[in-house]
Amino acid sequence: MKNITVIGSGTMGNGIAHTFAQYGYQVNLVDINAEALERALATITKNLDRQVAKGTLTEDSKAATLANITTITDLQNGVKEADLIVEAATENIELKLKIFKDLDQFAKPEAILASNTSSISITKIASVTNRGDKVIGMHFMNPVPVMKLVEVIRGYATSDESTALVMELSKKLEKSPVEVNDYPGFVANRILMPMINEAIYTLYEGVAGVNEIDTVMKLGMAHPMGPLQLADFIGLDVCLAILNVLHQGFGNPKYAPCPLLVNMVTAGKKGVKSGEGFYDYSNGVKEAKVAAKFL
């Protein structure tokens, strides 16, 4: 595999493109929004500059990484030569099904189609293609250039060959791939999201405040980041979407999202990306804040 296409230039997409390009792969970064692609390149450049400042990357390597990335707004032209396509669009099942139906039509027959979905069924995604054996989950962690884990999710029809190729490719990126089966939330989010949801319930029920909850988990459980701050970092809308997948997929009320989370997302308070969630980021620093009207 030499040619990689990444669909979607948001936080995960630009991180995936950055990582592949840094390891010498030719990357097409595809997004229908040209301005989003410009922002993605600016983010990648900033993150590369950070690596250079830390001494983990040379200026020549930075230049080579950027030279390996081509931005493109046309899906068909962006995927036609790809050996592997990694979809990193919004966590919306209808959008993903539309993308994969198009990818199956436009990509060469031997191309592997991967999704960076954090919870949506790979089997469901594969069902709209004629290459179920070549559809797989490749769930990177955020921030992608830093985090080592890749959840490799086998759909019902995913072949041993496709799985082995993606596992080996992940290792070439100096990641640690872990193979898991295709059930709602996979492993990472099936365990993480109920914990975050319980932290939100703990706040909602008045057991403790934002800082107190996060401090208990950081100091008592050795978590590098408290669950409410982590939810802000992930995006409260993303947390809600994953919890809905778990709730619908298992039909178990223990996965039902906390009403406080639902209200905050409805009000547009999505965490870091919107400038406010459980913390306020509007002044460029993290300050504990959740509006009293939500509680």
CATH of the domain at 244: 1.10.1040.10
Per-residue pLDDT reduced to its tens digit, 211-267: 999 999 999 999 999 999 999 999 999 999 999 999 999 999 999 999 999 999 999
Ramachandran region, residue 235 (left: φ > 0; alpha: ψ -120 to 50; beta: rest)? left
Q: Which residues of 254-273 are buried (b: 16+ CB within 10 A; e: fewer)?
A: ebebbebbbebbeeebbbbb
Per-residue pLDDT reduced to its tens digit, 47-71: 999 999 999 999 999 999 999 999 9
78 known member of a binding site: no
State residue 268 phi and psi, 5-degree precision: 85, 10
31 plus 136 within the same structural domain:
yes
Residue 33 annotated as catalytic: no
Residue 274 annotated as catalytic: no
Last residue in a domain, options 181, 206, 231: 181
Last residue in a domain, options 154, 181, 208: 181
50 plus 151 within the same structural domain:
yes
Residue 282 lies in domain: 189-294
- Which among 198, 208, 294, 278 has a CA at the least distance from the CA of 246? 198
39 plus 165 within the same structural domain:
yes
54 plus 175 within the same structural domain:
yes
12 known member of a binding site: yes
Flag whether pLDDT at 292 surpasses 60. Answer: no
Residue 276 annotated as catalytic: no
293 known member of a binding site: no
What total of structural domains would you count in the chain? 2
Residue 151 annotated as catalytic: yes
For the chain, the C-alpha Rg in angstroms (whole number) is 19
CATH code of the domain covering residue 89: 3.40.50.720
263 plus 281 within the same structural domain:
yes
Pairing of strands 287-288, 279-280: antiparallel
216 plus 84 within the same structural domain:
no
216 plus 83 within the same structural domain:
no
Report whether 89 contacts 96 (CB < 8 A). yes
1 known member of a binding site: no
Confidence of residue 295 (pLDDT cuts 50, 70, 90): low
Q: What is the pTM of this model?
A: 0.91
What pairs with residue 280 in β-bridges?
276, 287
105 plus 204 within the same structural domain:
no
Write down the catalytic residue from 28, 115, 170, 189: 189
Write down the catalytic residue from 139, 170, 197, 276: 139
13 known member of a binding site: yes
Q: What is the pLDDT averaged over residues 281-289?
A: 77
Per-residue pLDDT reduced to its tens digit, 72-110: 999 999 999 999 999 999 989 999 999 999 999 999 999
How far are the Cα atoms of 7, 8, 42, 69, 120 from residue 37, in angstroms, in the given order?
A: 11, 9, 9, 11, 25
